[in-house]
């Protein structure tokens, strides 16, 4: 028995020595200190828009539209709600026209708890914008940047007071820019976004990830439930908002130039039909018989190619140029008539469709 155990032990020792000679790496592993696995590094960075919200949200206010009771003219009741944006430390607030259009009294509630009765400075139905003013000090003003230009794919946040739930922030991207013809009140360019804009968000701020104002939320396409959206919402660009606000503050309304033309955009085929070498301009199809263009000598089939030294590209371009001209101003315009250039002097009128 002892001899059998001795032979087994000897055989095991010989086998171990043979394995160590054949596989030298085993000797290293036997005597080395076991390796301790390094802890896995966890990336603690997370995407957050908290900075932008903290920067912009104090300047977004709740707006309550109040009207007199039809049966009791001394009693005011809240008829609608919306949002607004403090644009100046002087108390100027921008909101949507449709938020305050029928209001007898407008109440503004700030996020710090202060409540004010607002004065209506002016409203513009065409752009769906209105300007209010409150008398207050130490007002938070929405950050803005003239260097920022909205682009498709930019992340944006919509801040407002949907369904009077209190200030709420939703986010999405800019889906498209320059959306025209989407306004309920006239031709208007919009920013399109998939950030949710619901009832009560109207007039609130659309901001970028730095908390800077991108536009004023104005409308959305909604399903029949009137709760969920298709993810298509619109905002009035900041640049246009600023321009309209300044005009409303200065004049109480937006004064737009007017010439009274009905026209079509010109294309290469039409240019050849009208014996015109140049393809940039608009073709006059009709006129207001009492309008400035008719009085200046415009004729049907004239091709308008230049206004006040600026080349004309299309109808939208003409509208943009003319509406910025002050009524009463004499402006030189160049047309092609039967292929020949003709200069006309037009006295700019006041747009009869202004609000």
The pLDDT tens digits of the residues spanning 172-204 come to: 999 988 766 444 334 457 899 988 888 888 999
| pLDDT greater than 60 at residue 4 | no
Task: Name the more confident of 4 and 187.
Answer: 4
Mean of pLDDT values over 217-236: 66
Is 260 annotated to bind a ligand? Reply is: yes
Domain boundary among 222, 247, 272: 247
Task: Name the more confident of 143 and 10.
Answer: 143
| pLDDT greater than 60 at residue 143 | yes
Catalytic hit among 57, 175, 183, 202: 202
- Tell me if residue 89 is catalytic: no
pTM of the model as a whole? 0.75
Asked if residue 27 is part of any domain, the answer here is no
Rounded CA separation 177/192 (Å): 6
Asked if residue 42 is part of any domain, the answer here is no
How far, in whole angstroms, is CA 133 from its chain's centroid?
Answer: 22
Asked if residue 15 is part of any domain, the answer here is no
Contact of 253 with 245, CB cutoff 8 Å: no
Using pLDDT thresholds of 50, 70 and 90, give the confidence band for residue 215.
very high
Domain boundary among 247, 280, 301: 247
Is 191 annotated to bind a ligand? Reply is: no
Domain containing residue 210: CATH number: 2.40.10.10
Task: Name the more confident of 355 and 193.
Answer: 193
Tell me: do 98 and 161 sit in the same domain: no
Range(s) of the domain holding residue 292: 257-350
Q: What is the mean pLDDT of the chain?
A: 82
Asked if residue 203 is part of any domain, the answer here is yes
pLDDT tens digits, one per residue of 82-119: 999 999 999 999 999 999 988 889 999 999 999 999 99
Contact of 126 with 161, CB cutoff 8 Å: no
Asked if residue 69 is part of any domain, the answer here is yes
Residues 6+ apart with CB under 8 A from 180: 187, 188, 189, 190, 316
The two tokens of residue 203 are 């007039």
Contact of 157 with 195, CB cutoff 8 Å: yes
| pLDDT greater than 60 at residue 236 | yes
Domain boundary among 223, 247, 271: 247
Tell me: do 120 and 168 sit in the same domain: no
Catalytic hit among 57, 83, 124, 128: 128
> Could you write out the DSSP letters of every residue in 261-324?
EEEEE--HHHHHHTT-S---SEEEEEE-TTSHHHHHT--TT-EEEEETTEEP-SHHHHHHHHHT
Tell me: do 120 and 182 sit in the same domain: no
H-run or E-run covering 19: helix 2-22
Tell me: do 164 and 241 sit in the same domain: yes
Is 263 annotated to bind a ligand? Reply is: yes
Is 291 annotated to bind a ligand? Reply is: no
Asked if residue 32 is part of any domain, the answer here is no
- Tell me if residue 202 is catalytic: yes
- Tell me if residue 149 is catalytic: no
- Cα angle for residues 256, 219, 131 (degrees, 5° grid): 45
Task: Name the more confident of 80 and 99.
Answer: 99
Number of domains in the chain: 3
Domain containing residue 332: CATH number: 2.30.42.10
Asked if residue 325 is part of any domain, the answer here is yes
Task: Name the more confident of 316 and 333.
Answer: 333
**Closest of 251, 248, 256, 253 to residue 348, by C-alpha:** 256
Query: What is the number of other CB atoms lying within 10 angstroms of the CB of residue 104?
Result: 13
Asked if residue 140 is part of any domain, the answer here is no
Tell me: do 263 and 242 sit in the same domain: no
Per DSSP, the three-state class of 189 is: coil
**Closest of 173, 226, 212, 200 to residue 95, by C-alpha:** 200
């Amino acid at each position: 028995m002892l001899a059998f155990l001795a032979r087994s032990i000897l055989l095991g020792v010989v086998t171990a020595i043979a394995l160590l000679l054949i596989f030298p790496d085993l000797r290293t592993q036997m005597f080395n200190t076991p390796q301790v696995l390094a802890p896995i590094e966890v990336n603690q960075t997370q995407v957050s828009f908290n900075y932008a919200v903290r920067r912009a949200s104090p300047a977004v206010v709740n707006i309550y539209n109040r009207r007199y009771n039809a049966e009791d003219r001394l009693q005011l009741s809240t008829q609608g709600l919306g949002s607004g944006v403090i644009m100046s430390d002087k108390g100027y607030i921008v909101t949507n026209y449709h938020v305050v259009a029928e209001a007898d009294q407008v109440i503004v509630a700030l996020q710090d708890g202060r409540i004010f009765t607002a004065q209506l400075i002016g409203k513009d139905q065409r752009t769906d914008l209105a300007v209010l003013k409150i008398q207050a000090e130490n007002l938070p003003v929405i950050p803005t940047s003239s260097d920022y230009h909205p682009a498709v794919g930019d992340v944006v946040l919509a801040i407002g007071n949907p369904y009077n739930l209190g200030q709420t922030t939703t986010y999405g991207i800019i889906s498209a820019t320059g959306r025209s013809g989407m306004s309920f009140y006239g031709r208007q360019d919009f920013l399109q976004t998939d950030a949710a804009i619901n009832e009560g968000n109207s007039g609130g701020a659309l901001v970028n990830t730095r908390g800077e104002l991108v536009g004023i939320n104005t409308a959305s396409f909604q399903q029949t439930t009137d709760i969920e959206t298709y993810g298509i919402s619109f905002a009035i660009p900041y640049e246009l908002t600023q321009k309209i606000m300044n005009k409303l503050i200065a004049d109480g309304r937006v004064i737009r130039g007017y010439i009274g033309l009905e026209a079509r955009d010109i294309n290469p085929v039409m240019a050849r039909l009208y014996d015109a070498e140049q393809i940039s301009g608009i073709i006059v199809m009709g006129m207001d018989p009492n309008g400035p263009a008719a009085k200046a000598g415009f004729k049907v089939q004239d091709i308008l190619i230049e206004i006040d030294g600026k080349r004309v590209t299309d109808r939208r371009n003409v509208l943009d140029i003319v509406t910025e001209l002050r009524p009463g101003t004499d402006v030189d315009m160049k047309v092609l008539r039967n292929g020949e250039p003709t200069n006309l002097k037009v006295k700019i009128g006041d747009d009869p469709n202004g609000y």
